[in-house]
Amino acid sequence: MVASKFVKECKTLWLVSAFSLLAACGPETPAPVRQAPTPVRVEAEISQQTNEVAPVQSAVVAPDSGPIRIAIMLPLSGAEEPTGRALLNAATMALFDAYDSRLKLIPFDTKADGLTTESVAHEALAQEVDIVLGPLLAGNVQIAGEIFGPAGVPVIGFSNDSRVAGEGRYILGFMPENEVSRVVDFAITKGHEKFSALVPEGLYGARVRNAFGDAVGEEGARVVAMESYPPDPEAVFEPVKALARYDQRRKDYQDEIRYLRSLRDDLTDEIADELAKVEKLEPVEFDAVLVPEGGALLRTVGPLLPFYEIDPNQVQLLGTGLWNDKSLTREPPLHGAWFAAPEPEAPDAFMVRYAEMFGEEPPRLATIAYDGMSLIAALARDTLEEGETRFSSARLTASTGFVGVDGLFRLNPDGLNERALAILEITRRGFNIVDPAPEAFPSFGFNLRQSASRE
């Protein structure tokens, strides 16, 4: 455990005598005007007039005054330390925002190592923790879940790897399946019917490929082309070229000019001359293309699409949450593209607040640590029915979900998560919301589709 070391390294941000807690690292600053909202549990409101006698209410237990011990397992040393520290800072922000003296956040350093994760998990069990936030890496989430599971201690990991999710072992990371389904569904409602995709090799690409096929097929549209590529900017040229069927289309274009000239007619010669001047190929056979990529690779792929005659005026460019990067607004080939992500106002406010507190920009992942801690705080505030466990599966997987910095989300009984995402459009001036996030979830067993304003 690294609690004592962490305290020594920290600068006090708040003087709250009610908490015997850890303070987050960073300089003292006044509280910012804009604050990210604390996640709250979404409750259904049902009102009905009746003359019937109200049923007898079950016994209710008020929130107890005993401590609620929360282990947070993160890489606080080693190569992943910067990310781990940022997630701990974000969770600590949520802890102080909750203003509940019963909540005790106890950090454990996994060092991003399996053996260390196993060791500190046993240490956390010995300290009788009630629930676990983290670990960060998928393999460590698996290890932690196997240790805490038999003891009935739920784990809320920060990974998005669906392979490590399971009963009592939840993952909070952004799921590509959710993002792909949302953006494809929206594109279909806007009239797109013939889809293509350029997907990376590897596990992430395989998950996107499967989700893409399912999402397109469910709505009666078609996948007409798909290519994959290795994680190398120099290796994406040929896959984009193949996706566009550029060589065949160019050959068809040249053959048409030769045929027109072979007719030896003034009119056809004139048409051939005009075709040669324009050098415009026939349109591609798809009207939407998904590119689930980010960073340098996306900046390489973007300009290649029009280069290989994939006309952005005829083909809608689609992406995933990897596009949630404001620097992409400076990439003209991506202007007009759509991707699925949380509505940006609350995450942006959180980023500003974090930077003011700690003197640096947090990684985008920091919001899920804040929301995870706030989910726990929301459940801690609830009253319990007699015999109910505070962090039971039924309470953690409330079908109505929770509202956090990243919007409405819920944990599923299988350990996966669902998020109510907006559709954002990349423009020169920023991200525009072209379709707001849905305000409520359907029942479990049904996919969260686009908002109620669906055309």
* Mean pLDDT, rounded, for 236-256: 82
* Mean pLDDT, rounded, for 343-347: 97
pLDDT of res. 67: 94
Neighbouring C-beta atoms of residue 58, cutoff 10 Å: 9
Rounded-to-integer distance, Cα 356 and Cα 360, Å: 8
Question: What confidence category does residue 52 fall into, taking pLDDT thresholds of 50, 70 and 90?
Answer: very low
Using only C-alpha atoms, the chain has a radius of gyration, in whole angstroms, of: 26
pLDDT digits (tens, 9 = 90+) for 248-291: 887 665 555 555 556 667 666 565 555 455 566 688 999 999 99
Rounded-to-integer distance, Cα 227 and Cα 196, Å: 8
Question: What confidence category does residue 220 fall into, taking pLDDT thresholds of 50, 70 and 90?
Answer: confident
Phi-psi region of 99 (alpha: psi -120 to 50; beta: other; left: phi over 0): left
pLDDT above 80: residue 182: yes
Decide the pairing of beta strands 68-74 and 103-109.
Answer: parallel
* Mean pLDDT, rounded, for 371-392: 91
Question: What confidence category does residue 384 fall into, taking pLDDT thresholds of 50, 70 and 90?
Answer: confident
145, 168 contact by CB (below 8 A): yes
For the chain, the average pLDDT equals 83
N residues, the chain: 455
Rounded-to-integer distance, Cα 5 and Cα 271, Å: 78
Q: 31-45, 216-230, 431-445 — which one is most confidently predicted on average?
A: 216-230
Rounded-to-integer distance, Cα 161 and Cα 52, Å: 50
Three-state helix/strand/coil letters over the chain? CCHHHHHHHCCCCCCCCCCCCCCCCCCCCCCCCCCCCCCEECCCCCCCCCCCCCCCCCCEECCCCCCEEEEEEECCCCCCHHHHHHHHHHHHHHHHHHCCCCEEEEEEECCCCHHHHHHHHHHHHHCCCCEEECCCCHHHHHHHHHHHHHHCCCEEECCCCHHHCECCEEECCCCHHHHHHHHHHHHHHCCCCEEEEEEECCHHHHHHHHHHHHHHHHCCCEEEEEEEECCCHHHCHHHHHHHCCHHHHHHHHHHHHHHHHHCCCHHHHHHHHHHHHHCCCCCCCCCEEECCCCHHHHHHHHHHHHHCCCCCCCCEEEECHHHCCHHHHHCHHHCCCEEEECCCHHHHHHHHHHHHHHCCCCCCCHHHHHHHHHHHHHHHHCCEECCCCCCCHHHHCCCCCEEECCEEEEECCCCCEEECCEEEEEECCEEEEEECCCCCCCCCCCCCCCCCCCC
* Mean pLDDT, rounded, for 415-441: 96
pLDDT above 60: residue 22: no
pLDDT of res. 248: 83
pLDDT above 60: residue 47: no
Higher pLDDT, 62 or 129: 129
Owner of token pair 């293309």:
289
* Mean pLDDT, rounded, for 356-366: 96
Higher pLDDT, 370 or 449: 370
pLDDT of res. 262: 66
Closest to 284 (Cα-Cα) out of 227, 219, 351, 207: 227
pLDDT above 90: residue 78: yes
**Phi and psi of 277, rounded to 5°?**
-70, -40
pLDDT of res. 386: 77
Question: What confidence category does residue 382 fall into, taking pLDDT thresholds of 50, 70 and 90?
Answer: confident
pLDDT of res. 53: 32
235, 205 contact by CB (below 8 A): no
pLDDT above 90: residue 9: no
pLDDT above 90: residue 240: yes
Closest to 439 (Cα-Cα) out of 453, 449, 424, 451: 451
How much of the chain, in percent, has pLDDT values that exceed 90?
Answer: 71
Closest to 108 (Cα-Cα) out of 176, 155, 169, 164: 155
Question: What confidence category does residue 455 fall into, taking pLDDT thresholds of 50, 70 and 90?
Answer: very low
Q: Which domains does the chain have, with CATH numbers?
A: 3-42+59-173+365-419 (3.40.50.2300), 176-245+284-341 (3.40.50.2300)
pLDDT above 60: residue 124: yes
pLDDT above 70: residue 236: yes
* Mean pLDDT, rounded, for 325-349: 96
Tell me which of 99-103, 202-206, 254-258, 339-343 is least confident: 254-258
Decide the pairing of beta strands 338-341 and 316-319.
Answer: parallel
Tell me which of 95-99, 112-116, 282-286 is least confident: 282-286
pLDDT digits (tens, 9 = 90+) for 141-177: 999 999 999 999 999 999 999 999 999 999 999 999 9
pLDDT of res. 356: 97
pLDDT of res. 272: 52
Question: What confidence category does residue 442 fall into, taking pLDDT thresholds of 50, 70 and 90?
Answer: confident
Tell me which of 48-57, 400-409, 413-422 is least confident: 48-57
